[in-house]
Amino acid sequence: MNPVLIAALAFIGVAAIVGGAALLWREKPVQKIEDRLDLLTGANTPAAAKEGLTNGASVLAQPLDDRPGIVETFMEQFGNVNLLFEQADTNLTIVKLLVISAVTALLGISLGVVVHVHAALLPLVGVLMGLLPPTWLLWRRKRRLKAFASQLPDALEMISRTLRAGQSLGFGFNMVATEMPLPISKEFGRVFEEQNLGIPIDETLRDMTERIPNLDLKFFVTALILQRQTGGDLAEILDKIGSLIRDRFRIWGQIQALTGEGRLSGVVLLALPFVLLIAVYQLNPDYIMVLFTDPLGTKMLAVGALMQVVGALVIRKIINIKV
């Protein structure tokens, strides 16, 4: 039988099995629906609603089908993994991410069979393809947090202007939610909505700092909580924090310009072994396959991979200057 047809059938079969298992692991969201109806109709007490919102398990903030399954329960032992999806602002779940990773890994192996990649390299191709969805998720999270940090000074200035105009702090949060783009509008809008539901603003702000691990945001929240307890000119405090954040961005830009050569050198040095591996494999496959078939060659590959990781960490430590 044609090897391409065999690979395609294997890919479809394994993908169907993984997808069916993921659907079976999902629990029915009956209790979630009942909780939401009770809350909306007033059956739940305000204290219970407040506790549900502040613990991150709100029936209003989460989808109705967001019941933890076997995989979610197991992954919760390693930390709050769902926070990663929330920070990336995606509808993916742990099960969906695992299914997508498995499908991309099988797709990579199938493509490797089609282009006649050596059998010893197929697992490596599968692993690399399977890591693409988690890598995309981390990249999306990093981009969103970076966009939030860049929008924060403008948001603070907008809140400061609303306070000077005689409006309330909540109105300032609503202005940020309606006038500014994503992602900061969504986060400040969530704070505004939670405050309208009766949650103290101190708690909603602390929850936002947990969702957004940004040092400048923590400065803002700490200053706001202290001002509410001790008093003072909040508008002036926000202007100073915004000016401080802009100065930090300016210094950070100068550091990025000065360390550009080191970052480029690190990328070249880390990518060079993989490029040479592919080039030599295309020129003389038998010469490079000794590293995968001979026991000494596999040991050399393991040592080389370890040295690559150590080198990447050292280069990152050198060029990663915190401001």
Query: CATH topology for 146-246?
Result: Receptor-associated Protein (1.20.81)
What is the rounded CA–CA span in Å between residue 243 and residue 250? 11
Residue ranges of the domains in the chain? 146-246, 259-323
> How remote is the C-alpha of 112 from its chain's centroid?
29
- Between the alpha carbon of residue 41 and those of residues 34, 51, 79, the distances in Å are 11, 17, 34
What is the rounded CA–CA span in Å between residue 154 and residue 147? 12
- Between the alpha carbon of residue 266 and those of residues 9, 111, 260, 323, the distances in Å are 41, 30, 10, 21
Q: What is the pLDDT of residues 254-307, one digit of tens each?
A: 888 888 887 888 888 888 888 888 888 888 888 888 888 888 888 888 898 899
Can you give the pTM of this predicted structure? 0.68
Q: Quick check: 155 and 176 in contact, CB under 8 A?
A: yes
- Between the alpha carbon of residue 166 and those of residues 159, 163, 193, 262, the distances in Å are 11, 5, 21, 50
The rounded percent of the chain whose pLDDT value lies above 90 is 21
Q: What is the pLDDT of residues 141-176, one digit of tens each?
A: 999 999 999 999 999 999 999 999 988 888 999 999
Q: What is the pLDDT of residues 205-236, one digit of tens each?
A: 999 998 999 888 998 999 888 888 887 788 88
Report residue 119's pLDDT band, with 50, 70 and 90 as the boundaries.
confident
* Residue 77 pLDDT: 60
Task: For residues 6-31, give the mean pLDDT.
Answer: 54
Amino acid at 73: T
